[in-house]
Structure 1
């Protein structure tokens, strides 16, 4: 389908369910997609950080996009991450995911070596020139070690290189600048600005953001759709109450013991455990070499779900 201009609403970064031997569990993936679609989400972002894209083979990446795009049949826009170190590798992924049915691609700055803003700009321009679908920038400096400057994002938006931004930088001042400028400049009309935060969606929408890409929406899509609708209706007291409920639920990402695992193992393990406990996916395993949650840690996740009324 054609990507809406601008893209708005709740666009979950979809978890990738795996089998015990770490292959893509397509039946569980499609149940998860139905769970999200039935909640009223506005699009799906495949192959992002929450999707464990960095841990998947190229074959598995393509399988995810092919399976979801075919299952949806155009009911929702499908965004696909093409995250890789260099421009040629990203362009290879663009060809694969667009052939598989993606409606837009999501691109980070190049990484491994540190890059200059001029090189980052060249990267996005080359990817956009080689992509048959719109390009959305993904600002995630914790993973790629480069922050996308607000002025660069706006320049690329004005030039038609970028259709949108998913901001997971934590830089609220920079995010505010992009939101404010994009809304007032005639040369950025239709540019979509989405927050990647689970915790400040109400504040981001109050600033003028177009939507959100929260990983926790895998677990509670109804909550985030409800939050979005409350904000759009101007019910800020209701939105704040719903946001605070979701903030409490987000505490599950710390279920894992930091003495024996990293934050990614803990957070993604918690999301998948929650989806398993809710009967949506068959197996809660995460990709290697992430550390699995223990029985006691799984019990913590269950308590968070119960506290949020999701069990």
Structure 2
């Protein structure tokens, strides 16, 4: 196996655009960007992706966080394009390449699992940085990797170091963790929604947009899942997990526009996504959602 993907929470931060629909790297909050689904990666040119990575790496270095890893989405519709995006990301300062199956070819790939496996194996062979599989069926036109296939891909491609399971399948996460037990392969929950049960069956963390609006609250949940020594510990984690799950669900229903709208309301960041996505029209209503407002209130006391 290659370099190990660290344990913890991963946050797919949005990318901000100015009034001319260009990347705004001077806007507060632009630095911690990961070009994944919530970061509108499909809307970005290769040059814009490189600019974001370079800006983030420079910012981390300037505050003595040189060892903080950068995970970058490099999904493309062909093996060749994906490898090139991974090479560009590595040259710009990325540490890990997050690779999703090419959904454009879902009709073919769903019926040809060997082709899907070859895609990941070939991309890993051509990538200069370790690859993390991104299993997110709604974004990949329904392509959903089976646990046995994930294990086989990992064994065939030593440069694949982990998987983020945004399919939400705790059973699959448990099977992958069991099949690859004893290796350095890292299995992560693709949502904070099921962080607690996923940790119990072998997850090393999660990726979630919730830390964008409630970072301290999210870290509190993570810390609780790492100290389950008694029934009281479990009950405390269950309580916080329920609050997080309800808030994340409400946030995900609003998508990128909702997240950017909330961040604009909270911090003044640019709220407009890139077309065809439209800006959230009812940010006030979203911020008053009882589950989101509950998390925002708890964030202030965390």
Q: TM-score range by the shorter chain?
A: 0.7 to 0.9
| In 1: Cα distance, 2:187 partner to 2:155 partner | 14
Q: 1:239 aligns with which of 224, 237, 240?
A: 237
- Which residue of structure 1 lines up, in the alignment, with residue 76 of structure 2? 84
| In 1: Cα distance, 2:3 partner to 2:35 partner | 20
Q: 1:158 aligns with which of 144, 147, 155?
A: 155
| In 2: Cα distance, 1:248 partner to 1:124 partner | 33
CA shift, 1:28, in A, is 2.8
1:187-241 Cα offsets, whole Å, 9 max, x none, are xx11000111131111111222011001222111212211111110112222112
- Per mean C-alpha deviation after superposition, the further-off stretch among 24-33 and 125-134 is 24-33
CA shift, 1:99, in A, is 0.7
1:1-311 aligned at under 5 Å gives the runs 5-28=4-27, 30=29, 33=32, 46-73=34-61, 74-113=66-105, 114-115=108-109, 116-144=112-140, 145-159=142-156, 160-183=158-181, 186=182, 189-234=183-228, 235-253=233-251, 266-279=254-267, 281-294=268-281, 297-304=282-289, 305-308=292-295, 309=297, 310=299
CA shift, 1:98, in A, is 0.7
CA shift, 1:32, in A, is 5.8
Q: TM (normalized to structure 1)?
A: 0.84
| In 2: Cα distance, 1:251 partner to 1:112 partner | 27
| In 1: Cα distance, 2:194 partner to 2:27 partner | 29
Aligned to 1:240, the other structure's residue is in SS state helix
Is contact 1:154–1:178 with CA below 8 Å preserved after alignment?
A: yes
CA shift, 1:4, in A, is 5.9
Q: TM (normalized to structure 2)?
A: 0.86
CA shift, 1:303, in A, is 1.5
CA shift, 1:291, in A, is 2.0
- The alignment's C-alpha RMSD in Å is 2.0
1:120 to 1:161, Cα distance in 2 relative to 1, 3 A: farther
| In 2: Cα distance, 1:307 partner to 1:232 partner | 23
Is contact 2:210–2:251 with CA below 8 Å preserved after alignment?
A: no
| In 1: Cα distance, 2:28 partner to 2:162 partner | 26
1:134 to 1:65, Cα distance in 2 relative to 1, 3 A: same
1:4-63 Cα offsets, whole Å, 9 max, x none, are 624211111121122232221213364563xxxxxxxxxxx7111111101112221111
Is contact 1:273–1:298 with CA below 8 Å preserved after alignment?
A: yes
CA shift, 1:249, in A, is 2.4
Unmatched runs of 5 consecutive residues or more in structure 1: 34-44, 255-262
| In 1: Cα distance, 2:188 partner to 2:91 partner | 25
Unmatched runs of 5 consecutive residues or more in structure 2: none
CA shift, 1:251, in A, is 4.8
Q: How many pairs does the alignment contain? A: 281
